[in-house]
Amino acid sequence: MSAPAALRHEKISIEALKVIQRLQQNGYQAYIAGGGVRDLLLGRHPKDFDIATSAHPNEVRRVFHNCRLIGRRFRLAHILFRGLFIEVATFRAAVDAETDEQPEAPLAGRDEPPEAFRARDGMILRDNVFGTAEQDAWRRDFTVNALFYDPEAHKVIDYCDGLPDLERRILRSIGDPFVRFREDPVRMLRACRFAGTLDFQIEPHADHAISQLRDDLALASPSRMYEEVLKLFNSGAAEAIFRHLHRTGLFRVIFPEAGAWFATEEGEEALLRIYHVLRQMDVWKKHGHGISAPLAWALAFGPYHEQRAAILQREQGLKPAPALAIATTEHLRGLSKRVQVFKWVVRDASLLMAAQPVFEKTREGVRSSRFRTRHYFGDALVYLKLRSAWTGQGGDLVHWWQQHL
């Protein structure tokens, strides 16, 4: 079909247009793919433009002298421009989990991918077979992410009925969500991220599948989960996404101990403070102000760490600063089976939490000057300000430090 009126061609980067034009001039299919098309149609500004093509990686490299191939499991091409790169991927087909053979293309008009596109015995372990544009669309996660756009022909290509779902603002799994979420449990987390970021409703069948299969998310790679959680923090819609995570029960799968505490009466009250902080993080993101990973983790779990620290003070007689450091460190390190938080992130999150009682004790003299030079001081002060805002306490302390910076 031709491009809808809502798609503004001028929002597409010149570099992406050049790459597509060159590939098509050399006889290959080449389209903008996935989220870039979705965001253009929604009137949003895509953060990047990924290109899908019929050209194999070595063929892409022969077309572009400024090309670098990356990846072992599945080769991708990066076309390098000054200050940026355009990622080019060859059309992929899913692999049959039992035979490990490349499937045939699905028949036009099917409302779910063919059996060969699904892993019958659970999670997909390999997904590195080249295919056609239609096969590439069917192997994607959600219908609104399976759109292609040909800027040369000004045409949107929709194999999976993504355009109607885009108009209705519905997030629908391609194929049976019970099968697709078993293939890759992280798709459930992505469903919450897209629903929150785009302000979409998760289609009821997919939402039910998440409620039934949520424990499978514990099978995902901890390192991959860390990257996915960072995307949630930096999405600009962290509050909405975390509300989806709590509603579906995925939060308690990812963060078992904290999730259990947030379900208590004390924790439910603290959760309102967390949503307040996430809302502020979203405001910063929309104004182009990012925050560090240690500060994001500290803010997202601050009340929980403070509660654990209070127990350590009461039961072990620890002072506030070391109690906060230990509570934060033990929690974030203890997530390693679910989310592999980097050691430096754990260290700095613990330091900025331990700094909170130091603000009260260290106001004058040499100790104050030394405290200001710590690399985590800025993040610790941000935490202090937000904690004061959500508790209504410590306003005078915040004012003093702001006046003496």
The DSSP-derived string for 277-306 is HHHHHHHHHHTT----HHHHHHHHHHHHHH
Name the residues annotated as catalytic. Answer: 48, 50, 141
Total number of residues shown for the chain: 405
Residue type, 317: G
User: What three-state secondary structure class fits 34?
Assistant: coil
**Burial annotation 100-131 (CB, 10 A radius, 16+ → b, else e):** eeebebbeeeeebbbebbbbeeeebeeeebbb
Structure tokens at 169: 């603002």
How far, in Å, are 26, 45, 302, 395 from residue 371 at the CA level? Answer: 61, 41, 21, 20
Q: What is the distance between the alpha carbons of residues 211 and 249, in angstroms, rounded to a whole number?
A: 7
Q: Are 349 and 326 in contact (CB under 8 A)?
A: no
* Angle (nearest 5°) at CA 114 between 143 and 41: 15
The DSSP-derived string for 64-110 is -TTEEEE-SSS-EEEEEETTEEEEEEE-EE---TTT--PPPPPPTT-
Q: Are 383 and 352 in contact (CB under 8 A)?
A: yes
Residue type, 5: A
